[in-house]
Amino acid sequence: MNCKNCQDPLEKNALFCDNCGAKVITSRITFKLLIGQLFSDVFGVDSKFFLTLKKMLLAPEDVLNEYLTGVRKRYVNPFAFLAVGAALSLLTFNFFSDEFIKMQSGFETEQSRAMKALANKDLSTVKNISKEEFIRLQQKQHSAKIGLKVQEAYFKFFLQYFNLITFLILPLYALTSKWTYRKPHNYGEHIVMNAYLQGFTMYISLITFFISMYTSPLVYMSSMFLYFIYYLFAFGRLYNHSFIKSVVKFLKFLLVLGLVITLFTLVILIIGTILFFTLKWLNPELLKSIFTPN
């Protein structure tokens, strides 16, 4: 029998090709085989996935250093590691979408609560105000309803495009860490590092989310604080910084990240404004339907 990949002759009962190293496969693909391979190769105890997950928890600098210096077969690809975390988060947050939105709404500001109360207020019960005041109140209620509609659209967009958002913000984190920790790694290497780090924070988020479902939303909201601690820990170990230097560098990281997000938000607002006025000019009826509360 010859190897199906390189056509080199195979020895009897060979498990791998001596020429190209490919695994010798004689069985047909079945659904049972696919499920078995999924759990053994991806979620098996000795799999690359769990090794990567374990090392990212205990010694993230080992994964980052080894992968960047060429040790590629030992660990899950950084983008696959991030994709699995994002996919699990997407499935979880959509399946428990009511709980997810409730957790987000559980930390409303006083202004948000006032906006919701105004949007749901029955104006027919309002007495002893002038016609002008009543018109202003109607306008405020209309604006509050639009605000709630925008908020609802944001949650729906976030839940629907969670994977896309995850990969879109990856370059922003990489740019931030590159500007903060300038040497010796280049921007491409920072992309890889942040893919691993972001991937791991996905699992932190999932754990805190499930705990919050049975305790308090505070647990889930504290996951952002845990992200910061983890980034501080990982970069400190990677660059072998002292605790003080790690804190200073991380504060710089947060400052740069804030600037990057601000610039990114401004760009989005400019693009959104251009689209708004373009739509208003080309199709005002569609624009009206979008911003008219039900």
The 10s digit of each residue's pLDDT in 276-288 is 777 667 766 665 6
Confidence band (pLDDT; 50, 70, 90) for 45?
very low
> Three-class SS string for 96-134?
CHHHHHHHHHCCCCHHHHHHHHHHCCCHHHCCCCCHHHH
Q: Are 176 and 258 in contact (CB under 8 A)?
A: no
- pTM of model > 0.95: no
* Tokens (6 digits) for 124: 């027919």
DSSP state of 161: S
Report domain extents, the chain: 1-30, 48-104+161-290
| Amino acid identity at 268 | I
Worst-scoring range by mean pLDDT, 15-24, 47-56, 107-116, 170-179?
107-116
Kindly report the average pLDDT of the chain as a whole number: 78
Give the integer Cα–Cα distance in Å for 202 and 277: 37
Spatial CA neighbour of 193 closest among 243, 234, 252, 241: 234
Cβ burial of 99 (10 Å; 0-12, 13-18, 19+) is middle
Who wins on pLDDT, 43 or 90? 90
Spatial CA neighbour of 119 closest among 101, 98, 137, 100: 137
The CA-atom distances, in angstroms, between 275 and each of 192, 230, 259, 280 are 34, 38, 24, 8
Average pLDDT on 172-182 reads: 86
Give the integer Cα–Cα distance in Å for 119 and 210: 32
* Tokens (6 digits) for 269: 């607002």
